[in-house]
Structure 1
Amino acid sequence: MKISRRTFIKRTLKSIVGILGLTGAGYYYARFIEPDLLTVQRYKLESERIPLSFDQFKIIQFSDTHIGFHYDLKQLNKLINTINNESPDLILFTGDLVDAPHQYTFTNELPFLLSQLKAPSGKYWIYGNHDHGGYGTEKIQSVMEDGGFQLLKNQHTSIHNKNDSFILAGLDDIMLGKPDLSKTLEGVDDQAYTMLLVHEPDVADQVRNTSVDVQLSGHSHGGQIQLPFYGPAVTPPYAQKYIEGHHSVRPGLDLYISRGIGMTRMPYRFLCLPEISVFQLQAIPKSSSIQE
């Protein structure tokens, strides 16, 4: 069931009341400890559709930094070092760079730090709802471009290795953008291995009707606060069916949702560690029939 922005905020405030009701140690942990406990989620993407030259190709996804809301450039620099230490071939950012673009004081340091991320096959990004919010659409695009990232907005590109390639596509934000899934995938060969970036994970139920193999999303933050035996206290619109981790949407379509890096609306994480996702491609040789 979808909820309105107002309902989401009300539920978020209730969650804040709940977290403040924890013990002093619990509050301190949620406010000051867990938000800095960055984890690395590792996945293998196996498919006969992955070209053999991409076997062991490494992709890193990071999402939802929300810079300016209890996440600063010093923390971003630490994140960048962590990502570079993984030696990725391709880096993907799935939206929400700055929490409130109309309030944030932009300096040259932010694009400079983003430019320090290194990946030989490129760096790509999509808009999140906070990127469009607060009149940030053009400013965030400028910052990301200066940082060496290429925007995928209702469009796709080919990632090449030797004589092979796979498709990387990106959809504009669902909540505040102008998404067009048909345009995004227009001209894509149905037999090509295709990865789609979508900020809001619940869009996967629309993507299931396409030939996409993998959808990467963020937006949910995993709920930020998870309660034992209950799960996420509240999640935003378009992140209520699919909240975190790996989901098999249909045979041949896998959805992976990052809990993201930063926070929004409330400066807490509880049982919901921040994360980056590392994907290792594994090409499966196509089975050949034996003729007698």
Structure 2
Amino acid sequence: MNYYVIAAGIVVGAAMGTASVSWIHRGVGTGWIVLGAAGVGVGCTMVFTAVALLLTGPDHFMVVHVVYLVCVVGLPLAGAIVLAFGRPSPLIITTLCLVSFTAIPVGVYATHIEPFWLRVDAATLAVEGNGEGIRIGVIADLQTTSIGNYENEAIDRLISFAPDVVMFPGDLHQIKAGQFDERAPQFTQLIQRLVDAVPVVYLVNGHSDTVAELHQITHGTGAKVLDNEVATLELKGKVIHIAGVSLLGRDYEPAAKLAVDRLANDDLPGMRILLAHEPDAIKLLKGDTVDLLVSGHTHGGQVAIPFFGPPITASSVPRHIAAGGLHELHGTPTYVSTGVGRERGNAPQVRFGVRPSIGIIDLVGEG
């Protein structure tokens, strides 16, 4: 993959920086050696990054990946080089080098531990007129190229909570071009296993899957792909209307607004739920409200800074809402899943401070 080219640039840059520290034996000060090594390393990284971007085209995920690799690979490597060859070093430089090593466990945790540390995000929502409680299971953004133990365990864990209905707000897969027909049966088996345990399963498409692909995956399973339409069902004596809206490229199709208009009609009896890939679908309501909006897409930002939250959410909704969980947005209860998977392609496949999750929303009566 092209980020290996960038990683090679970081390593080569550090190696060239190592060669430059031999200047210390010629009377060059340690500070200049550190600056020289850093300059060579950064220069090589930039060159290799430029080559990678030429291969992939403009890609902001690649830029983020560069920053990540520099932080968790380049900085500790540079610190080790200075400690090994730059002695005697001033105390401040030695301290900075030692601090740089903390990036190593952070990188291991963010790459190999947290992305697979699945949690259950439980929420309770009081809904007017609801009698016996209804449990909604939410599983979003598997966003994987194939089904493995982790994805199967996520389905098993969701099933164990015995939801009455399961909603999947998009990005079921991120299969590479040309591999869909080969990989799709794995996803069909996954959906079938879910439907066998929870007969009522609804899906909408996201950015990495299409309505046609979801129809192919779910064909014969009993799961229902909502394509700008409203489904009506009865659960525990309660009528529920679920509008599922489809994405076309980066935005919702015009037909999505028609489906939402039907759902938001105050004369429609029963509970009303909007299922959409993005929480940004709130704009389709145009000031109207429904009982619940269920969405995913943001991955909770995938990386969150302590006391600040996710710096990037790929959403226009407020950051604290995009970070995940049940909130109120423009008068509408809005649930945003942090997702099960993570961004693929050229993005760093990491999570930090935003564990993956399945959602369990219990709808209970008011009072």
Shared fold, TM over 0.5: yes
Partner of 1:256: 335
5+ residue gaps in structure 2?
1-56, 76-101
Measured in 1, the distance between the counterparts of 2:193 and 2:167 equals: 14
Q: Secondary structure of the equivalent of 1:166?
A: strand
Post-superposition Cα deviations, 1:37-76, rounded to whole Å, max 9, x if no partner, equal: 10101111202143x2xx22111001000111xx642222
**Pairing partner for 1:213 from 291, 301, 310:** 291
Q: Say if 2:168 is the partner of 1:93.
A: yes
Measured in 1, the distance between the counterparts of 2:285 and 2:64 equals: 29
Distance 1:229 1:7, change over 3 A: farther
Within 5 A, what are the aligned runs for 1:181-260? Answer: 181-188=256-263, 189-190=265-266, 191-207=269-285, 209-238=287-316, 241=319, 242-243=321-322, 244-251=324-331, 253-260=332-339
Measured in 2, the distance between the counterparts of 1:260 and 1:268 equals: 13
Q: Residue type of the partner of 2:348?
A: M
Tell me how far 1:140 sits from its aligned partner.
Answer: 3.0
Distance 1:184 1:147, change over 3 A: same
Q: What TM-score do you get using the length of structure 1 for normalisation?
A: 0.82
**Pairing partner for 1:9 from 61, 65, 72:** 61
Distance 1:208 1:227, change over 3 A: same
Q: Residue type of the partner of 1:192?
A: G
Post-superposition Cα deviations, 1:86-118, rounded to whole Å, max 9, x if no partner, equal: 111101101001124525441523211220114
Post-superposition Cα deviations, 1:203-242, rounded to whole Å, max 9, x if no partner, equal: 2244252231211110001111112233213222556654
Measured in 2, the distance between the counterparts of 1:100 and 1:237 equals: 23
Measured in 1, the distance between the counterparts of 2:366 and 2:65 equals: 48
Q: Residue type of the partner of 2:235?
A: N
Within 5 A, what are the aligned runs for 1:67-216? Answer: 67-68=144-145, 72-104=147-179, 105-117=182-194, 118-120=196-198, 122-132=200-210, 137-161=211-235, 163-173=237-247, 175=250, 178-188=253-263, 189-190=265-266, 191-207=269-285, 209-216=287-294
5+ residue gaps in structure 1?
286-292
Q: Secondary structure of the equivalent of 1:116?
A: helix
Partner of 2:358: 276
Q: Secondary structure of the equivalent of 2:294?
A: strand
- Structure that is richer in helix per residue: 2
Measured in 1, the distance between the counterparts of 2:284 and 2:187 equals: 34
Q: Say if 2:123 is the partner of 1:48.
A: no
Partner of 1:33: 113
Measured in 2, the distance between the counterparts of 1:18 and 1:230 equals: 23
Q: Secondary structure of the equivalent of 2:274?
A: strand
Q: Residue type of the partner of 1:153?
A: D
Measured in 2, the distance between the counterparts of 1:198 and 1:148 equals: 20
Distance 1:239 1:64, change over 3 A: farther
Partner of 1:288: none
Q: Name whichever of 32-41 and 14-23 sits farther off.
A: 14-23
Tell me how far 1:170 sits from its aligned partner.
Answer: 0.8
CA contact (8 A) 1:110 1:143 kept: yes
Tell me how far 1:160 sits from its aligned partner.
Answer: 0.4
Measured in 1, the distance between the counterparts of 2:314 and 2:151 equals: 24
Measured in 2, the distance between the counterparts of 1:107 and 1:99 equals: 11
CA contact (8 A) 1:166 1:193 kept: yes
Greater RCO (CA < 8 Å, at least 6 residues apart): 1
Q: Secondary structure of the equivalent of 1:60?
A: strand
Measured in 1, the distance between the counterparts of 2:62 and 2:316 equals: 17
Q: State the superposition RMSD in angstroms.
A: 2.6
**Pairing partner for 1:61 from 138, 144, 148:** 138
Matched pairs, number: 271
CA contact (8 A) 1:222 1:258 kept: yes
CA contact (8 A) 1:203 1:238 kept: no
Post-superposition Cα deviations, 1:239-263, rounded to whole Å, max 9, x if no partner, equal: 6654122221133x11110010001
Q: What TM-score do you get using the length of structure 2 for normalisation?
A: 0.67
Q: Secondary structure of the equivalent of 1:106?
A: helix
Q: Secondary structure of the equivalent of 2:247?
A: coil
Q: Secondary structure of the equivalent of 1:64?
A: coil
% identical aligned pairs = 24
